[in-house]
């Protein structure tokens, strides 16, 4: 297993949480390295369902340690809530979770600002999760953010929190939106800070110690390639680098220590929020994918837009992320389709192109060129090995692997742990 980075290859919600959970059986430490509680990673264990937002999905395996790295933006109130909820369900969290002292903190003023930006954008809004992610990363880059190390110095933290919140309150008052009640908010933060403080440490040291001792470390990506702030469909993206390189800068392990990159892709495509999406379907096929795949956001509950697999976009993702193990999820959702389409090229201004245009306005104008194959029309949900998959289904997967120039490694045929198998 060694040190592995796992990332989403599409627009998020590829089933990363489920694959992380399965891989965690062989892992000693799972590290989140970017994003915040905009993420919603679902893991189903038996009859129980867990949706993790900030805590790494490895927490559901008793022997596994978890860390939230410096690249993550952490809302202390929601992190605390997540810990309380998991502990109420019988998981020991406090002793197994470490929080980087360098991680930026997200406060209610970031969330209000997120909403304010969105309302100012009107029709051009991004469709954010309103979790304050963009404003928190902006504060980090503006060098006015508060880091988790503040949780160890409550007096200093109170001063800095109040100063920064007062600055935002001026903006809110002028814009005519709700302001932050500083006393009430600080009262909540203080209580939570005392509980989180023992988890705060320089995670670079613990991560590297584990690596030196030959332990297996898994870096859990959030969101997906096309939401990356540099490479994604800008400006319809999130505010962090969601690609594999971010595991090093946000997780604290050098590139020379990374052994593998697992890229997770759905057998079709979904997107939640605004922004162009070339293979989006507005017909019965799209509705069918949404219904069978239960495509509703794990964080906001918003319906996800659905479409066919986009091999042009996903090949680029596999290349950029250096994927050497491909995980295809939600294969079962296509079980009943008479025919299945895959976008293998784009057409722009009458010309066929093999890459996604960098300019999002151009991307919004391309037309997908599809190839169509007959579906397998048999249930795959009970398959436990490659051999048990219908021939046409295996051909579909091999085709995707060829198009993406990345080797298949993991197949997922349902939301449960046992509905997953490896191609050894
Ligand atoms: P993540 O953000 O990448 O972790 O993905 P989400 O948890 O937001 O969304 C994936 C959804 O698909 C969750 O509801 C999972 O339980 C579900 N899921 C994961 N893998 C499969 C699969 O192979 N088949 C089906 N039908 N559902 C799956
Ligand atoms: P996981 O980790 C899918 C989308 C939002 C919006 C854009 C910016 O569960 O795959 P933000 O709140 O980050 O500023 O919103 O990014 N988005 C996600 N879409 N899965 C996610 O996470 C997402 N996190 C953010 O819908 O379009
Ligand atoms: Mg999700």
Catalytic residues: 13, 41
Residue 116 clears pLDDT 90, i.e. is over it: yes
Spell out the long-range contacts of 255-260 with Cβ–Cβ below 8 A and sequence spacing 24 or more: 257/3, 257/211, 258/3, 258/4, 258/5, 258/219, 259/2, 259/3, 259/4, 260/2, 260/3, 260/4, 260/5, 260/324, 260/325
Q: Is 242 left (phi over 0), alpha (psi -120 to 50) or beta?
A: alpha
pLDDT for the residue 297: 86
From the CA of 134, give the closest atom in ligand 2.
14
Atom of ligand 2 nearest to the CA of 16: 10
Q: Is the pLDDT of residue 1 over 90?
A: no
Q: What are phi and psi of 96, to 5 degrees?
A: -105, -5
* 75 pLDDT tier (thresholds 50, 70, 90): very high
**Residue 16 in contact with residue 221, Cβ under 8 Å?**
yes
Give me the mean pLDDT over the 147-163 stretch. 97
Residue 220 — φ and ψ, nearest 5°? -95, 105
pLDDT tens-digit profile of 183-194? Answer: 999 999 999 999
Instruction: Give the model's pLDDT for residue 298.
Output: 83
Mean pLDDT along residues 219-240: 98
Residue 424 has pLDDT above 80, yes or no: no
Nearest residue (by CA) to ligand 2, atom 20, is: 12
Mean pLDDT on 354-359 = 92
As a whole-number percent, the residues of the chain with pLDDT over 90 amount to 98
Bridge partners, 68 (sequence order): 32, 99
Backbone angles phi, psi at 84, to 5 degrees: -60, -45
* CA 8 to ligand 1 center in whole angstroms: 12
Protein residues with CB under 6 Å of any ligand 1 atom: 8, 12-18, 40-42, 44, 293, 298, 329-330, 332-333, 412-415
CA of 157 to the centre of ligand 3 (A): 32
Using CA positions, which residue lies closest to atom 17 of ligand 1? Answer: 415
Residue to substitute in 40, 264, 333, 415 for testing ligand 1 pocket (most ligand atoms within 8 angstroms of CB): 415
CA-wise closest residue to 42 among 305, 422, 417:
417
Q: What is the pLDDT of residue 394?
A: 98
- Between CA 114 and CA 108 the distance in angstroms is 10
Judge contact between 53 and 82, C-beta under 8 A: yes
Mean pLDDT of the chain: 97
How far does the centroid of ligand 2 lie from the alpha carbon of residue 255, in Å? 26
Residue 157: the pLDDT is: 97
Assign domain 3-102+197-260 to its CATH architecture.
3-Layer(aba) Sandwich (3.40)
Mean pLDDT of all residues in 56-65: 95
Residue 406 pLDDT > 80, yes or no? yes
What pLDDT is attached to residue 156?
97
Identify whether the C-beta of residue 6 lies closer than 8 Å to the C-beta of residue 258: no
**CA 306 to ligand 1 center in whole angstroms:** 14
pTM: 0.98
Whether residue 331 contacts residue 397, with contact meaning beta carbons closer than 8 Å, is answered with yes
C-beta separation of 81 from 111 below 8 A = no
Above 90 in pLDDT, residue 163?
yes
Contact 305, 395 (CB under 8 A): no
Compute the average pLDDT of residues 388-414.
98
Point out the ligand nearest to the CA of residue 57. 1
**How many angstroms separate the CA atoms of 155 and 203, rounded?**
24
Tell me the pLDDT tens digit for each residue of 302-319: 999 999 999 999 999 999
Q: pLDDT tens digits for 363-383?
A: 999 999 999 999 999 999 999
Mean per-residue pLDDT, 207-226: 97
Does 300 have pLDDT greater than 90? no
Tell me what pLDDT residue 299 has: 84
Topology (CATH) of 265-422: Adenylosuccinate Synthetase; Chain A, domain 3 (3.90.170)
Tally the residues of the chain. Answer: 424
Average pLDDT over residues 388-417: 98
Superfamily of domain 105-196: Adenylosuccinate Synthetase, subunit A, domain 2 (1.10.300.10)
Mean pLDDT of 267-282: 96
pLDDT of residue 296: 92
Which residue ranges make up each domain of the chain?
3-102+197-260, 105-196, 265-422
Give the single-character DSSP code of 303.
B
Mean pLDDT of 212-240: 98
Q: Regarding beta strands 48-52 and 3-8, do their DSSP bridges make them parallel or antiparallel, or are they unpaired?
A: unpaired
Same CATH topology for 3-102+197-260 and 105-196: the answer is: no
Q: What is the pLDDT of residue 240?
A: 98
């Amino acid at each position: 297993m060694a040190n592995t980075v796992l990332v989403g290859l599409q627009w998020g919600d590829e089933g990363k949480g489920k694959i992380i959970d399965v891989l965690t059986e062989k892992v000693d430490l799972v590290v989140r390295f970017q994003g915040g509680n905009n993420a919603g990673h679902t893991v189903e264990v038996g009859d129980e369902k867990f949706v993790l937002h900030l805590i790494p999905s490895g927490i559901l395996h008793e022997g596994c340690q978890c860390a939230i790295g410096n690249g993550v933006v952490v809302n202390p109130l929601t992190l605390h809530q997540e810990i309380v909820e998991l502990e109420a369900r019988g998981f020991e969290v406090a002793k197994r979770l470490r929080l980087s002292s360098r991680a930026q903190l997200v406060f209610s003023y970031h969330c209000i600002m997120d909403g304010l930006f969105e309302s100012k954008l009107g029709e051009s809004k991004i469709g954010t999760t309103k979790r304050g992610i963009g404003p928190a990363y902006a504060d980090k880059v503006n060098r006015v953010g508060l880091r988790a190390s503040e949780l160890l110095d409550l007096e200093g933290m109170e001063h800095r929190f109040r100063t920064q919140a007062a600055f935002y309150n001026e903006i809110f008052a002028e814009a005519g939106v709700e302001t932050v009640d500083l006393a009430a908010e600080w009262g909540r933060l203080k209580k939570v800070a005392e509980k989180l403080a023992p988890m705060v440490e320089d995670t670079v040291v613990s991560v590297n110690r584990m690596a030196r001792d030959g332990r297996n470390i898994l870096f859990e990506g959030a969101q997906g390639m096309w939401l990356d702030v540099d490479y994604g469909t800008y400006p319809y993206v999130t505010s962090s680098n969601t690609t594999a390189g971010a595991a090093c800068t946000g997780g604290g392990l050098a590139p020379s220590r990374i052994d593998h990159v697992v890229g997770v892709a759905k057998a079709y495509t979904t997107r939640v929020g605004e922004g162009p999406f070339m293979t989006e379907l507005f017909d019965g096929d799209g509705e069918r994918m949404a219904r069978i795949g239960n495509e509703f956001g794990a964080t906001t509950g918003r319906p996800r837009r659905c479409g066919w697999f986009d091999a042009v976009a996903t090949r680029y993702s596999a290349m950029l992320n250096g994927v050497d193990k491909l995980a295809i999820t939600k294969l079962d959702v296509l079980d009943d389709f008479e025919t299945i389409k895959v976008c293998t090229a784009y057409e722009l201004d009458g010309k066929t192109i093999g890459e996604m245009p960098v300019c999002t306005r151009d991307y919004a104008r391309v037309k997908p060129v599809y190839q169509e194959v007959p579906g397998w029309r048999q249930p795959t949900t009970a398959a436990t090995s490659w051999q048990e998959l219908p021939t046409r289904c295996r051909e579909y997967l091999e085709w995707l692997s060829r198009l993406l120039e990345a080797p298949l490694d993991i197949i997922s045929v349902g939301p449960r742990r046992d509905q997953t198998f490896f191609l050894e």
